[in-house]
């Protein structure tokens, strides 16, 4: 008996059944229909979504307005297709021609053998789908893929200490920033003036006020400078590194292959000591000779990301362009980290040559 991967779920609306092939699928019969103009052996499956509710909601009306039906005239075309021509013809957006009077026939359909879950999700978002079964399964499937798609290969034992230092620095800055205006306001109160504090301290009023205000301003400026310096030095510190690998390699004991095109995620801390994740390829990193920096991001990659953000509004994935790797105290997969360091070093050497 052959191993049918499509039978992992008995529901015909499960996301696994929608992503499996026609040849090994036995549960997609209720939602698969072939085009009536195919004259060759073998079928090209399409998703036939269930009929919407009979109520005329606003979503169905909007779809009927924005997606008018488009039909291809088969009268002027040769119906004798070869396998290749039929594949090219039907491998595109098409409409269901058997029910021309049905409102649901105006909704576009997508091939069931497409593996890209993002394209499949786009189809569901464009469709007035009455049931939430497929959407819940799709959301659960995408969440499962993203959670199991990363493998931890590096972890810094000093990450907690770095976070504590940054929080302490931010706390002192906040205290000094609040106390300085409070002292200035306190000095102007009538009760303080009536108590003759200046005479008690055997100093003139202007001299006492000047000394107190200068000390408060100095403390606030010193705290701001120390916080800025710590943020500049410790923000590139790498807390952990994840390698994006297929699910089958994560479950196995073998290490995933590392190449310049390998996608990695690097976790650092921002100014407020919050987690900041930068996702990039290994080829986007360049080595540095600084004592507090290990890698920098290629400037060409940053320019491309900025151009995409300005032109298409794509959210940037590279949120940190400087990285400091603690190679002495770090723990994790040494083989993978050695491969990453070697590839980055070779890229830097080729650039200088």
pTM for this one? 0.53
Is there a single domain that holds both residue 141 and residue 242? no
What burial class does residue 318 get, using C-beta atoms within 10 Å of its C-beta: 0-12 exposed, 13-18 middle, 19+ buried?
middle
Looking at the fold, whether 156 and 23 belong to one and the same domain comes out as: no
On the question of pLDDT at 239 being above 90, the answer is yes
Q: Which has the higher per-residue pLDDT, 121 or 174? A: 174
Residues 192 and 322 in one domain: yes
Query: At which of 117, 147, 177 does a domain end?
Result: 147
- Residues 213 and 221: their CA atoms lie apart, in Å, by 12
3-state secondary structure of 94: strand
Range in 11-15, 88-92, 215-219 with the lowest mean pLDDT = 88-92
pLDDT at 6: 45
**Would the pLDDT of 295 be above 90?**
yes
CA distance 277 to 320: 8
Of 124, 147, 170, which one is at a domain's C-terminal end? 147
Max CA pair span of the chain: 109
Give the pLDDT of residue 343. 92
Q: Do 162 and 119 fall into the same domain? A: no
> Within this chain, do residues 122 and 230 fall inside the same structural domain, yes or no?
no
Q: Is the pLDDT of residue 322 over 70?
A: yes
| One domain, residues 133 and 153 | no
My answer on whether 135 and 154 are in the same domain is no
292 plus 224 within the same structural domain: yes
Q: How many domains does the chain have?
A: 2
pLDDT at 292 over 60: yes
pLDDT of residue 264: 92
More confident call, 302 vs 10: 302
What is the residue-averaged pLDDT of the chain?
Answer: 68
The answer to whether residues 187 and 226 belong to one domain is: yes
> 96 lies in which domain range?
5-147
Contact (CB, 8 A) for 326 and 238: yes
| Residue 346 sits in the same domain as residue 278 | yes
* 99, 121, 147 - which closes a domain: 147
pLDDT greater than 70 at residue 61: no
162, 265: one domain: yes
Same domain, yes or no, for 172 and 244?
A: yes
| Matching residue, tokens 């200068």 | 214
């Amino acid at each position: 008996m052959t191993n049918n991967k499509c039978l992992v779920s008995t529901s015909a609306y499960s996301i696994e059944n929608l992503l499996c092939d026609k040849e090994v699928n036995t549960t997609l019969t209720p939602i698969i229909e072939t085009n009536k103009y195919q004259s060759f052996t073998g079928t090209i499956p399409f998703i036939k979504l269930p009929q919407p509710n009979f109520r005329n909601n606003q979503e169905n009306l909007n779809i009927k307005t924005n997606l008018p039906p488009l039909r291809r005239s088969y009268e002027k075309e040769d119906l004798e297709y070869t396998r290749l021509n039929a594949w090219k013809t039907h491998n595109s957006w098409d409409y269901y021609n058997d029910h021309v009077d049905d409102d649901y026939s105006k909704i576009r359909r997508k091939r069931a053998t497409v593996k890209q879950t993002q394209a499949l999700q786009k189809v569901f978002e464009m469709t007035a789908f009455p049931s939430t079964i497929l959407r819940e399964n799709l959301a659960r499937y995408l969440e499962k893929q993203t959670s199991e798609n990363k493998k931890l290969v590096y972890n810094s034992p000093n990450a907690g200490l770095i976070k504590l230092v940054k929080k302490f620095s931010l706390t002192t800055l906040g205290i000094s920033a609040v106390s300085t205006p409070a002292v200035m306001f306190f000095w102007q109160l009538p009760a303080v003036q009536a108590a003759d504090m200046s005479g008690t301290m055997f100093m003139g009023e202007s001299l006492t006020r000047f000394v107190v205000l200068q000390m408060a301003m100095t403390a606030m400026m010193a705290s701001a400078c120390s916080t800025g310096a710590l943020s500049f030095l410790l923000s590139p510190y790498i807390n952990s590194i994840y390698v994006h690998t297929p699910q089958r390699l994560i479950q196995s004991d073998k290490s995933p292959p590392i190449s310049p095109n390998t996608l990695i995620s690097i976790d650092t801390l921002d100014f407020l000591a919050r987690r900041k994740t930068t996702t990039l390829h290994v080829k986007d990193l360049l080595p540095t000779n600084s004592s507090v920096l290990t890698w920098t991001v290629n400037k060409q990659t940053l320019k491309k990301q900025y151009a995409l953000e300005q032109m298409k509004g794509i959210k940037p994935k590279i949120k940190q362009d400087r990285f400091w790797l603690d190679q002495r105290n770090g723990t994790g997969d040494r083989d993978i980290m050695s491969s990453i360091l070697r590839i980055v070093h070779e890229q830097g050497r080729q650039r200088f040559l």
